[in-house]
Structure formats: C-alpha cells, structure tokens
Structure 1
Amino acid sequence: MASFIPQVKQQHLTEAPRAFAWGGRLKVTLLMERRDDRLELHCRRLMPGMELSVREGAEGYAVRMEHVLAGDSGGQSSFETGVKEQSALDRFISVGGMDAIKGKPEGYILQVGEDAIGIQSQDAAGLFYGLQTLRQLVEQHRDIPAVTIVDWPDTAIRCMNYDLRQTYSKPERLEAYLAEFARYKTNAVLIEYEDKFPFAAYPELVHPKHALSREQFERLKLAAHEHFIEIIPLQQSFGHLEYVLRHDSYKHLRETEKSIGEICPSQEESYQLITGLLEEMIASHPESRYIHLGCDEVYSLCECDACRERYEGVRERAFIAFLNRLIAFTAERGKTPIFWHDMLDKCPEEELRHLDKRSVAMIWIYNGRNIDSDVSTLTEKFRRLGIRVMGAPAVRSFDWAEHQNYPVIVNRVDNLLQWAATSEKLELDCVVATNWTGPFSLGVPYGVFETTWYPMLLHADLAWNRRSDADTFIDRFLHQFHGIRPEVGHGKLGNYRIEDYYDIIWKLTDEVKLNRDYAELIAIMRDYEVATDKSRAIHKYLYRLELFPGDAAERRSLLNNYQRNRRKRDNVRPRMQAALERYQPEDMAAHFVLSRFYLHDYLERTIYREIGMNLEE
C-alpha cells in the first residue's frame, strides 16, 4: 500500500476484480455545498485534461472520478442525475457515508473502486485533504488498488514556521513551500517577518535588500489562501526587537543601553511604536484570526529606574501590564493575540491573575525528557485562570550548536514525539513546529530551511495523526519524499531508525528519485563537517609547536593535517555556495557560507601564515 504522510487513520483494502487504472480521459463531478473555486483548481491540477462538471447546493462536499468510456458524450452520469446528490454519494460510499466523519472537521472519506473513485467531506478543506491523499496514491500506484480510507485530523491548527530573521528562501520558494505544506495537510504557517515585512509607515525598518516587496507579500498570502493555509503573523512586541532598537532613532526606547532587543514598557512612546507596527501587521492580514505578539526572552525587565519605581521591581508585573495593553489593542481589532509563555513560566498566581483572558499562551519547550510533566503543569496553570493554551515543539532550535547545517535530529525527534503524546493528553488544538534560523537577528545562522523537511514532515505526520507509527516514519518519508522504496533503502544500508535520516540520505543519493537537490544539499553540508571536523582541525594541534619547538616530525605532522583539512575545505566551499544559490539570493547564500568558513579564513590570514603552513610543501 502507499506510504502516506500523514499516516491515515483507517484504510481497508477491498476486493475488486481489478484496480482503478489512473490516466486516460476522466469524467469528474465536483459537488459543493457552497462554491469554492479552490477545489475546482486543485481538481484540475490533479487531473489535467479531465471533463469536469461542477454542481452547487449539495449537502457537504464530494468529488467522483470515472473513466470516459468509448462513445460517451461526456454528458451527465448517473452520479449527477440523482434527485438528491448526497443520497447518490451515500450509495457510492460503502462505509456509512458521512457518519464515519461526523463531528470531525476537515475529515474525509476516500473510496477507490474498479470503475470510480469518490471522496466525500463535510467541508471544503476536508475534500482538499482527501485530494492530497489521492495524490499520494496516484504517485505511488498507477493502478490504484480498491481501498476505502476514513481520515481526519487530531489537531485543529497544524502549523509550520517561517523565520525570516537570518537566512531565508527566495520569495518564490516561500510560496511554493506553502503548497508542499498543504500536500501534507498542514493548515497554518507562523511567519516572523521582522525587517523583511514591507512596512509602509516605518520604511526605516525595512531591510534594504531582502524585504518582501508588496507584490511578493500579496502573492505569498494568495498562495496560502489557495492551499487552505492560514497565515499567523508574528510581530515581536517586547523582546527580540534588535532590528528596531539598533537604530539611533529608537535607541532611547531600550530598557537599558545594553538591552539592544528589549523595549522599555514604562515609556508611552514604546506603546505607540509597538501598536503602530501591530496596526500595520493586522491590517495586512485581514483573513488571519490570530496575531502572535512574541514577548519571549525579555531578560532586562525592570532594570531601568522608571520601571523599578513604577512596578516596584516586580518583573512579572511589568510584563503583564505592558502585555495587557497590547492584548486589548489587538483584541479590539478582531484578532486573538498569542504570546510566548516563558516570561510567565514561574509567575506567581496573584500576578498572573491580572493577565487579560482574551489572550493565548503558546508554550514552547524544546528539550528535556519531561515534556508531559512540564507542559501539563503550565497548561493547568493557564487554563485554571481561563487562558487558552497552544503548543510549540521545534524542528530546529539552538540545541547548544549554532553551526548546525541541519537539525540535531536526535533532539528534534524526541521533542516532537513527546509533544504529540502530550498534545493528545491535553487536547491542544494548535501545535506549531518552530523552525528557527538563528538565536536572534544579530546572531549566527543555524542552518537553511531546505535541510529541515524531515522533521517538518514528522511534525505534519504527528499533528494530523498523533498515534502515527513513528517506527515506520523514516521508511514512509524516504518513499514519499525521495522515491526510495523501503526494500531499496534497507537493501543497500541494512537497518536504520527514525533518527538516522541525516546519517544515511547522503549514502542513498544514487537511489533518490524525488527532491534530489535537498539530498545533495545535505551531502554537501556533511562534506563540510568532515572537512572541518574538530578532531582534524589544525588549530587543535598547534600547542605541540610549543611543546616541541623546531621538531621536524612535529611540523610534518601539523603540515599533513593542515593540507588534508585545507584541500577538503577548498573543495566544499564553492559547492556549498552554488547549492545555496538554488534557494537563496546570492548575497544571502554568501552570508551563510561566510558564517561557516570565517574562523578558518581568519586562521589562514593569521596563525597559519605565521607558522608557515602551505599546500605546496
């Protein structure tokens, strides 16, 4: 059977004389309770050249596909001519009709017979997700076996993350990736634009080279809508405002001179600035139900004299007072405000009781073995006071390693699996896979977006189906994302497990049939790591010149290590630059490459030259 991502809830193979042969002329009937042009668009994309009939006024949403027989004029089929469209669908679907997904928004039923394929849902999004499952079937089986699939999501808001603060993909790729998210049944994306947002009222905050143009921004929104994805904008409002407070014109709003990313809540001008940014962000996202206020890691709270006096030195009091003003501002404009939980992690209940209940706390915990205990305690704390909770694991985060190149997958898999179990227990209706490009906008980039598809799709798998079989995920991913069947992968490499993806994909590049460029990028990043491995880096051996000054054997040993290391680095650098330019603007790719090679370049100019290392000797 197909390697589904996300893994479907129920599938039943049924007996049929033959499979449904995909291809040829298809007659397609699309029934909609209310017209949604997106469904027609996606039907045409999945089945180009089909004969499509669209009917409105049905009960729910459904699509039926059948072959156009010789001599068929393409007129109405018996499926279309029933007195009541829904009753015709109920006869076609043999597992109880809509009852199987009743009360399950975005659920669908897909049935493949020898002569027809039908998909049925209560809502437009559910029919869209049924089409995505059919797409996966079609891509893996030209002759589709007779099967009935009943499927629905466990999590209402299944969210990915664009972090545009450091390095990010070209705008056209950001658009294209939304389609990929939707393919795997993701329905939201949290976007932290920072200085890449095309602010009209604050042009001084717009990045001079890499900000989205207004046209690019509008296309991004259109692509999200087209694929049933809600954009949740993230506008930092308290901390992580380096891109604002670095400017001399806003420097006076810092909590202290040293706190370059944290704004002072006691200054009225701070509130005017932040609400000005929020106003523009809200107006630019009219279809978004939420706006994320950020508000994490505000480390310098109550350090200025004004805040210490006004809030009596109580950090949580200062935080809640300013946050409440932002919540009120946002809620009054029809949006539900979200904030990161960490500044209220240990907040006394007598202070937390003052928090505006119109807000949502998003709990982010990225490491540790006690996600269930930690998240449950925090969730109970917030819910007891009437505050809704959302969750945020990470598909890439700090992980004590700024030069990651690709995620620290052992940590990420563990975090995602723990969060899936905890989300089910706590019935969280929103889980975001945070995907950070760096610790903050002035930091070192962790890695590039394109190396994170593996944990992102694990999140998609678990957000839709919290009980998905994690043991089979790597096989399903390799099959679905790279076109490598399990028998091929295991036949070449033997045994491997869910956390082994980055260790094995570079060994399977000859077998990769899909998304080969991502596999090649990971292979290049691995070559970089081999070339700069700490155990081989020459600067780790330099102390021996102090121990054995003038010793020819010591110098020869150092020179051997230097030459081996240098040649490997010289080989990988242009390959890394060229690979990154597929995804990023040239200068942004160069920024990432420089972040990886700077130390080695610096040592070349200084200490290596000083001790006479060279490639010729």
Structure 2
Amino acid sequence: MCLMQEEVPRQEVFLLHDFTKNSTMSGCSPFKMRLVHLDLKGAPPRVCYLSEIFPLFRALGANGLLIEYEDMFPYEGHLRLLRAKHAYSPSEIKEILHLATLNELEVIPLVQTFGHMEVYYLGEGEDSRHWLQQEPNTRAELCLSYMEAVASHVQARHPTTTPLVWDDMLRDIPEDQLSASRVPQLVEPVLWDYGADLDVHSKVLLMEKYRKSGFSWLWAASAFKGATGASQALTPVEHHLRNHMQWLQVAGSVPVDTLQGIILTGWQRYDHFSVLCELLPVGIPSLAVCLQVLLHGGFAENVKARVENFLGTSSLEATDFRSERAGSFPGSDILNLITQVSLHLCSSVDALLERDRYVTGWFSPYHRRRKFIHPVMIQHIQPQALSLLARWSVLVGELEAALQRVFYPDAVEEWLEENVHPSLRRLQALLQDLGEAASPRPDSGQDP
C-alpha cells in the first residue's frame, strides 16, 4: 500500500521521434477509466488554474481524477489542525467537484490511511511485536488484518463505496493467504509501476495471481511525472511514454475487462519531507502524450500531431519549450521559463565562476578570501557578472509572477529557493567580493 517512486538517472532532454515509427493504433483504449492524479501535498494549484486544465484533461482523453487532498482539505473539528495555511475552503472544494462534473471527470479521493502512515514499520510496535510472537502469526497476516479493518470500516460507513489500494504490500503475499482473507472481497488492488522498462510478463502473472485470489477487479497505475528523480525539474517525456507503451502491452496480454482502468500518477513530492519535483504545468506535455497513447493504442505520427495541436506547439522537443513554441496550453509560460532556468541558469553561472579565465586566474577563491585583485581585472569581470545577474533577475521575476498566478506563496517560495536563489546568490557574492576588493583599505597605503 505504500507508494515509492523509482529512482532513475536525472534526464532533462527528451526525444520522441523514434516512437512514431512502426507504431500502430487500436482505435479503442483497453482502459475504460483513465484517471489523472493530482498530488496536492506539494504545490497545490489554485482553483482558477484547475478550471483551465480540467477541460484539457477531458479533451486529451481523461474521464476521471484521483485527488490526493492531503492538508489542502478544509478539515473541521479535531482534524482542523491538519489544514495547510492555504487550504481550500469548503466552497472551493465544491467548485473543484463542480468543475470535474462539468468536464465529465469522475472524482476518486485519495485518503492516506494505513498505507502511507504505518507500513514501513509494520510489526515494530509493542502490540504488533507481541502478536507476531504467537504462532502462526506473520507480518503478512498482520498487514491483511489492518487492511481488512480499514476497508470494513469504509464499507460499513459507505456501503456503495469500494476502496482501492496500492498493491505494494500484496505482491509478496502468497495466493492462499490472500484467498483465505476477506481483503479480496473488500478492496480492488492498484498495480503500480512507473518504470520505462516495466516487465510485462511479470505484471501479467501478478494479475493472474490476484484474480485467482478472489479480486474481482484490478487497476493499473502509471506515471506522467514525478517518478524519475526527487528533485526533477523538467519531465522526461520519453520515459513516461515508454511506461505507457508497456502498460498497453500488459492490457493486451490479459482477458478483456480484467483492468477497470489506469491511474496516471503525477507525484509532486516523493514523500512529505522531500523537495518538490516537476510542477504540474511542466508535466502537461507528458500527460498529453500519455493520455493520447492510451486512447489510441500507440504513438503514430497522427497521434503526435494531435498532441501538438492540443498543446498549441509545433514541437515536443524539450529544447523548444524555451521559446514561443512552448505552447498555448494553461501554464505553458511556466514551462517555458522553468526550461530556461533548468537548462541554463546554473550552467551560465558555473561558466563565469569556474571557467572564465579572468575569474579563475585573477580572482580565485584565494584572492576572494583576501579581497585582493588587480584593478584592471575588475573591468573584465564586473560587467559580465552584472549583465548575467540582470538578465537572470528579469527572467526570474517573470517566472515568479507566472508561478504566483497558479500556485500559493509557500510553493512559489520553495521552488525558487531550491532552484533559483542558490545560483543568484553566487553571482551576488562574487559582485560583493569584487566591490570589497576594489575599495581602498586603511592599511593598503592608498590615499583615502
């Protein structure tokens, strides 16, 4: 039930052309339900932005939402302390649900229970340890008993509601143990795998095991962003395209209607303590590609053209998202600016501080600590540093304004602090050291 993102090497630039060759289309999606996951435990969008992207979700082929409300839900009573500073109001929650209805998107809430709050330490509590010491109790039985308790509670309160559960903890439980429990009659497992090299055969065998264990319906979970690096800033579309192509192979290898649907997850943090990964607007091109692949059964040239048309762009190459060709979809300005920052801010500062011959030769760390420089060299370094700082300050100002239109202040502050400010501070520190080195010192022998 615990969700853990797969760690793969950081990848910034993606290429899609090869997937259009020899690609076929079935014309009918094997997934009846195609849910877009909104992870609100990091950078939750303002409702006004959701009103802009829900129609796009629907147009691209989504027919549902998995909303991970987290602390953005307006809890009352003794749960009120869980509210975030900028939590949605009750009226905003109603507006979100209304917008979903208008766009024919079924809403499934994702509520953290046993899965994300206890499971790594299953069996380590005092009561659990005592229970496990009694034969023939096992950690698998302990897990199933907890799942049964939670699911039974939901069923008692909401008889027409069926809980879905991430399948991590079910994968290694023997078929006979699953069959002997009530869990298969209470929940529907979500088989998640975000890898570009998903093992199709193993997934098919796992689905067969679940069906034999008594689960009537199964779900799949892919990823359109948030699964390729905890601090990823740009979404590697090729990785996610491959992931969905593999899921299509899985769906084509099992009996029809085995899968109820697929959840396209878009994680915003790996867990509650990690940094932000790709912001939602940055992941929209990947989402568009993935939804259209699921809808049409492949990524032929005409599907690629449809995606580009939906996004209002003439190219899906990452390097083209730093120009006017970034697109016209809601949030495309954020993608454009973040692409420029991610690909060039740090590298441009590194080029000046670590590879410029005047800086490395005449204002090295040794010189900077002692505030010592040949006056002529200031003329070679200072203008470059000022120009670079001014250029990036303007762009960052545009990015901050764009982010504020979509996100709340705390998310904007966090993203800029993690991805922008460190590089700008390096430039500012260089200029400050230059200024101090150029200033006459009392003991220097220079005239005041």
Which TM class, normalised by the smaller chain length?
A: 0.7 to 0.9
1:480 aligns with 2:307: no
Alignment of 1:293-308 (within 5 A): 298-308=119-129
8 Å CA contact retained: 2:224, 2:264: yes
Offset at residue 370 of structure 1 (A): 3.1
Q: 1:570 to 1:309 in 2, by over 3 A?
A: same
Give CA-to-partner distance per residue, 1:292-333, whole Å, 9 cap, x none: xxxxxx322222332222134843332221111111122332
Which among 308, 311, 319 is matched to residue 503 of structure 1? 319
Instruction: Give the distance between the partners of 1:548 and 1:599, measured in 2 at CA.
Output: 18
The residue that corresponds to 1:578 in the other structure is 401
8 Å CA contact retained: 2:74, 2:80: no
State the AA in 2 paired with 1:579. A
The residue that corresponds to 1:347 in the other structure is 173
1:459 aligns with 2:290: yes
Secondary structure in 1 aligned to 2:190? strand
8 Å CA contact retained: 1:162, 1:191: yes
The residue that corresponds to 2:41 in the other structure is 165
State the AA in 1 paired with 2:321. I
In the alignment of these two chains, the number of paired residues is 394
Instruction: Give the distance between the partners of 1:184 and 1:610, measured in 2 at CA.
Output: 49
Instruction: Give the distance between the partners of 1:227 and 1:570, measured in 2 at CA.
Output: 39
Instruction: Give the distance between the partners of 1:350 and 1:615, measured in 2 at CA.
Output: 75
Alignment of 1:101-120 (within 5 A): none
Offset at residue 568 of structure 1 (A): 4.8
Secondary structure in 2 aligned to 1:612? helix
State the AA in 2 paired with 1:409. V
Alignment of 1:533-544 (within 5 A): 533-534=346-347, 536-537=349-350, 541=354
Offset at residue 610 of structure 1 (A): 11
The residue that corresponds to 1:435 in the other structure is 266
The residue that corresponds to 1:520 in the other structure is 333
State the AA in 2 paired with 1:528. V
Offset at residue 356 of structure 1 (A): 1.0
State the AA in 1 paired with 2:334. L
Offset at residue 159 of structure 1 (A): 0.8
Instruction: Give the distance between the partners of 1:564 and 1:314, measured in 2 at CA.
Output: 65
Offset at residue 564 of structure 1 (A): 7.0
Secondary structure in 2 aligned to 1:434? strand
Secondary structure in 1 aligned to 2:291? helix
8 Å CA contact retained: 2:75, 2:83: no
The residue that corresponds to 1:361 in the other structure is 189
The residue that corresponds to 1:413 in the other structure is 241
Gaps of 5+ in 1: 1-6, 11-150, 241-261, 264-297, 490-495
Percent identical pairs in the alignment equals 17
State the AA in 1 paired with 2:151. I
1:397 aligns with 2:226: yes
Which among 315, 320, 341 is matched to residue 144 of structure 2? 320
Offset at residue 158 of structure 1 (A): 1.3
State the AA in 1 paired with 2:401. A
Give CA-to-partner distance per residue, 1:426-451, whole Å, 9 cap, x none: 34221011011111233211122112
8 Å CA contact retained: 2:226, 2:267: yes
Give CA-to-partner distance per residue, 1:544-584, whole Å, 9 cap, x none: 8999945979x989989966764554233212101112212
State the AA in 2 paired with 1:509. R
Instruction: Give the distance between the partners of 2:151 and 2:214, measured in 1 at CA.
Output: 15
**By percentage of residues, which structure has more strand?**
1
Q: 1:202 to 1:194 in 2, by over 3 A?
A: farther
Instruction: Give the distance between the partners of 1:176 and 1:582, measured in 2 at CA.
Output: 12
Offset at residue 351 of structure 1 (A): 3.8
1:423 aligns with 2:246: no
State the AA in 2 paired with 1:473. V
Instruction: Give the distance between the partners of 1:351 and 1:205, measured in 2 at CA.
Output: 39
Give CA-to-partner distance per residue, 1:127-164, whole Å, 9 cap, x none: xxxxxxxxxxxxxxxxxxxxxxxx76532111111111
**By percentage of residues, which structure has more helix?**
2
The residue that corresponds to 1:373 in the other structure is 201
Instruction: Give the distance between the partners of 1:205 and 1:446, measured in 2 at CA.
Output: 26
8 Å CA contact retained: 2:373, 2:437: no
State the AA in 2 paired with 1:571. V
The residue that corresponds to 1:198 in the other structure is 74
Q: 1:367 to 1:208 in 2, by over 3 A?
A: closer
Q: 1:561 to 1:424 in 2, by over 3 A?
A: farther
Instruction: Give the distance between the partners of 2:84 and 2:415, measured in 1 at CA.
Output: 18
Instruction: Give the distance between the partners of 1:568 and 1:239, measured in 2 at CA.
Output: 46
Instruction: Give the distance between the partners of 1:573 and 1:168, measured in 2 at CA.
Output: 21
Alignment of 1:40-189 (within 5 A): 153-189=29-65
User: Which protein is bigger by CA-based radius of gyration?
Assistant: 1
The residue that corresponds to 1:238 in the other structure is 114
Secondary structure in 2 aligned to 1:347? coil
Alignment of 1:267-286 (within 5 A): none
Q: What is the TM-score of this pair, normalised by structure 1?
A: 0.56
The residue that corresponds to 1:311 in the other structure is 132
The residue that corresponds to 1:43 in the other structure is none
State the AA in 2 paired with 1:359. V
